[in-house]
C-alpha cells in the first residue's frame, strides 16, 4: 500500500508556531513517527509540504497518475476556503483522510467549516500528531477489509 502524506501552509513551522496549540514536535519529528509506523506495517509513504496551493493540487493529480492508494492530508488553512484543493481531491479516484492536529471544532468559529472534508472518506481532528498514524491505521484496516472480500 502506498500513501501520500500531504501538509499544507505553515506546517513546516511545527514546533515553533503556537506550540501551546500544535505542540513541540517538528514536521521532521512527525514524518519520522509516520515512517516508523509505516515500516512496521509494510506501508510505503511519501511526503509533501507546501505553502502553495498549486503545488498541493499538482501532488494530488500526480498521486492519481502514479496509482497512490490513499492520501493523508492536513490542508492547514486551505481547509476552510480552498475550493481548488477540494476540487482536486474530488477529481481523482484516490481516497483521502483529512487530519488536523488540534480540535478545530473547539477553536475559532471560522475553523469549524471544512470545504475539503466532504470529499474525504474521514477526518481525524484533535488527536495531536497521532492523528496521522490513526489515518494510516484507518487505511491499513480498510485495505485489509478489502483484501478479505
Q: Helix/strand/coil (H, E, C) string of the chain? A: CEEEEEECCCHHHCCCCCHHHHCCCCHHHHHHHHHHHHHHCCCEEEEEECCCHHHHHHHHHHHHHCCCCEEEEECHHHHHCCHHHHHHHHCCCCCEEEEECCCHHHCCHHHHCCCCHHHCCEEEECCCCHHHHHHHHHHHHHHHHHHHC
Per the structure, how many domains does the chain have?
A: 1
pLDDT digits (tens, 9 = 90+) for 72-115: 999 999 999 999 999 999 999 999 999 999 877 777 777 778 99
Of 22, 61, 80, 132, the active-site residue reads 22
* CATH number, domain with residue 128: 3.40.50.9100
pTM score: 0.93
> Mean per-residue pLDDT for 18-33?
89
Higher pLDDT, 136 or 23: 136
Domain enclosing residue 85, as ranges:
2-148
In the annotation, is 22 catalytic? yes
Of 24, 52, 100, 132, the active-site residue reads 100
pLDDT digits (tens, 9 = 90+) for 31-79: 999 999 999 999 999 999 999 999 999 999 999 999 999 999 999 999 9
Amino acid at each position: 500500500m502506498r500513501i501520500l502524506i500531504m501538509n499544507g501552509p505553515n506546517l513546516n513551522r511545527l514546533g515553533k508556531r503556537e506550540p501551546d496549540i500544535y505542540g513541540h514536535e517538528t514536521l521532521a519529528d512527525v514524518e519520522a513517527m509516520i515512517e516508523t509506523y509505516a515500516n512496521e506495517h509494510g506501508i510505503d509513504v511519501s511526503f509533501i509540504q507546501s505553502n502553495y496551493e498549486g503545488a498541493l493540487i499538482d501532488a494530488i493529480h500526480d498521486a492519481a497518475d502514479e496509482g497512490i492508494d490513499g492520501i493523508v492530508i492536513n490542508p492547514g488553512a486551505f481547509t476552510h476556503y480552498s475550493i481548488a484543493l477540494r476540487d482536486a481531491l474530488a477529481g481523482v479516484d484516490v481516497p483521502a483522510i483529512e487530519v488536523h492536529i488540534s480540535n478545530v471544532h473547539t477553536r475559532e468559529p471560522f475553523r469549524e467549516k471544512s470545504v475539503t472534508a466532504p470529499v474525504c472518506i474521514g477526518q481525524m481532528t484533535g488527536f495531536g500528531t497521532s492523528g496521522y498514524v490513526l489515518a494510516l491505521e484507518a487505511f491499513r484496516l480498510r485495505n485489509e477489509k478489502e483484501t478479505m472480500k
